[in-house]
Amino acid sequence: MKKALLLITLLASVSTALAQYTITYKPGDSPLEFKTKYVYRNPTFLPSRVYFKDGSSTRATLNYNTLSDRMEFIGPKGDTLELVDNHLIKEVVIDKSRFRFHDGFFELIKDSPEFSLALKRPLRMVNQKKLGAMGIASPTAGIETYASLGDVSGILKLSPKIEHIFSNAPIYYFGDKNSFFIPASQKSLAKIFPAKKDQISAYMKNHSVNFTRIEDILSLISAIEK
């Protein structure tokens, strides 16, 4: 009963906070507002704590940059700086959000000593529409994942007559006890829980599981944890 209530709570909170959506950047929109709203995990830099692998920790005011996969803070001169030596970091807590580090930052959804469920939200340009003389948009080609704020700023400033369609749909990952994360799939889950391989296969045969849907993933995990 407790597990069922926990699953319902997770589904309600995660589904609301992590709902997939498409972002349209139109000519005349503010690049700065776009970056503030969609590039960063939070609209403002928030009180945080950084936990290191040696057991120490420190307080900071941070925000997670989804493009560069870096933790950023505001320096003494008001400029935006990045945390360095990330390989020494075990975990970062920003407000109520937890990020585990292992070749990048993964936002935790569910965590236990043996298993973790996490996500990333890479910003991708999935379409472009060129505006004609009458302001009518016609689609062009292009799917691209950006790696830095400069990439986004450049493409938006250099294309004043292009409407850009972005997506930041989440990609889910399973993590083992060493926080080694791999994309969520039946195979990766069985790798983490080899003793439950048959149980996982049986569940997959009787249920349609889409590993891009958090609801499906949480239901599968709940079933094998019983």
**So where are the chain's domains?**
21-40+121-169
pLDDT tens profile 23-35: 888 888 887 888 8
The pLDDT assigned to 8 comes to: 47
Q: Give the closest residue to 124 by CA, choosing from 142, 108, 140, 105.
A: 142
Q: pTM here?
A: 0.77
The pLDDT assigned to 157 comes to: 59
Confidence at 159, pLDDT banded by 50, 70, 90: low
Q: Are 116 and 110 in contact (CB under 8 A)?
A: yes
Topology adopted by domain 21-40+121-169: Dna Ligase; domain 1 (3.30.1490)
Question: From CA 115, how far away is CA 138, in angstroms rounded?
Answer: 46
pLDDT tens profile 102-146: 989 999 999 988 899 999 988 887 888 877 655 555 555 454 555
| Confidence check: pLDDT of 5 > 60 | no
Place of tokens 């969609």: 38
Q: What percent of the chain has pLDDT over 70?
A: 78
pLDDT tens profile 69-93: 899 998 888 888 999 999 999 999 9
